[in-house]
Chain A
Amino acid sequence: MRPFVYERPTSVSTAIAMASRPDAVHVPPTGADTQFIVGGTNLADYMKLGVARPERLLDLNTLAEPALRQIRIDDDKIRFGALVRMGEAADNNDVRRRCPVLADSLKFAASGQLRNMASLGGNVLQRTRCEYFREISWPCNKREPGSGCAAMEGSNRQHAVLGTSDACIATYHGDFAQALVALDATVDVEGPRGRRTLTFAKLHKRPGETPDIETDLAADELITAIEVPLAQWSSRSRYLKIRDRESYAFALASAAVALDMDGETVRSARIALGGVATVPWRAREAEDVLQGKVLDEATAQEAAEAAFADARPREHNAFKIPLGKRTLVRALLETRDMKG
């Protein structure tokens, strides 16, 4: 591991000032010399592997602002401070009651220990588990731009079928992000150039030609809060996660679903797919199929076909297409059968 300076900023503005650099807008945060750390569950791992090589860590656990550690629930929204731990949010009874898909996407992620460590702000920024990204001896366009992609012709069972490019097929493995992108969440970001709010769907970038640029954030910007609007569909919502083993594994396929129903007819559907795409994946085509229709096995299947119409499999991951469709169909029907 590269030696690093360790520092403890005491406020958001200090942390940003310490991370600020003139060329911050040109360096992807993941490649910046100065990086923020909270739980360290992703960053410490990647530092041990030599994938992340910061020369300075700013420990955000010493930030004083109380709102960073609070979950605030109003009639029309839930606001999570960025330092709230996954476990605390998953165990919050009001979050579960008002919006089960949020609680379940956290409960079925990682392990009890990791959920006690990992912050929500850090969790949404977790980096891919692509085996070729993780091992520095392989070519990887995400880790080493221009070096190539060993996954294309390698062992790519875990890899994405949606949102891929010729440069990268690495899966975005997070679960919470699927609920957030489905529910039109927003992210509050602070940086030396001011404060901004972006829709969660804009936070992550598809790999395209530049898979090293993973998010819309600059290296000196900090997520301070995540806000989820509550609406008719929030309480009738569900996260279904399919894995190689029943617990403590990344999704092979998952679906975050929220439904606003008028009897048996779908007024509005919110759908995101995990384990199958390069970024948190909103399946708007599937939502459009369901709008105004009676939700039954046939229409759920139609929605699933639409969701995967543009899927592009590689040698070992073609199974994710039928698996992803079946996961979505089951999630839709189970969500339909929940009490609204």
Chain B
Amino acid sequence: MSDAKISSGLSRRMFMTASVSAAAVMPLVNSPTRAAQPASAKPAEPRDLSAVSMRINKQTYNLALDNRTSLLDALRDHVGLTGTKKGCDHGQCGACTVLIDGKRVLSCLSFAVMNQGREITTVEGLASADGDLHPVQQAFVDHDAFQCGYCTPGQIMSAIGCINEGHAGSEDDIREYMSGNLCRCAAYPNIVAAIVQARDETRRA
């Protein structure tokens, strides 16, 4: 769970520079990579790396990944976006929630290679370029909707999904539809208040 060590020895900055570039495949791997396609000259081997391209926070990333890599680990360890948190790593806590094509999902239970061509949004992609917070982020600040903060990125991403789905109509609805995000500090009342504020602002906008 600590910050990623990049196996090639390159710094994260160099890594990110490489991966954001338009190159088809990052130059960081020494094993051959292959597109995950059924038809191929050489039969696929379980240890082959797969090439996967996805848009993360509106930038294209071309990655070469072990098929076993979760989207969560790809974001944190390969792309360097550590805002998305690893809690249970088994789909029970919601800390790893991100948006895929606008829908909230758990990145720990999604194999990264399954996200070819998808649009991923993480907590780092919410604030505007000039630093204005997303209404849900601002509402969490306004309502002091966290204590230790570890679950907060997942709460915020899930709240955005919850509001977009139309499931934030009442406080009871918010509690029901946000139940996949656990907060062991139990900041729940303030989280609900923050979502109510953000919902109303989103409706006005």
Contact = CB atoms under 8 A, between A and B. Distances in A.
A319 interface: no
A18 B158 contact: no
A199 interface: no
Interface in A144-172: none
Nearest to A41: B109
Interface in B55-97: 66-68, 70, 89-91, 94, 97
B180 interface: yes
B84 to A, nearest CB: 13
Contacts of A40: 109-111, 114
A112 B111 contact: no
A65 interface: no
Given A4-B68, A45-B91, 6 more contacts: A3-B68, A6-B36, A47-B68, A57-B67, A112-B104, A114-B109
B191 interface: no
For the residues of B in contact with A, the DSSP-based class is loop
A111 interface: yes
B204 to A, nearest CB: 24
Interface magnitude class on chain B: 35 or more
A309 interface: no
A112 B177 contact: yes
Contacts, number: 106
B179 interface: yes
A321 B141 CA distance: 47
For the residues of A in contact with B, the DSSP-based class is mixed
B113 A116 contact: no
B142 to A, nearest CB: 23
Interface string A31-62: 00000010111001101110000011101010
Interface string B13-31: 0000000000000000000
B79 to A, nearest CB: 19
A8 B161 contact: no
Contact of A116 (B66, B68, B104): B104
Nearest to A3: B46
B67 A48 contact: no
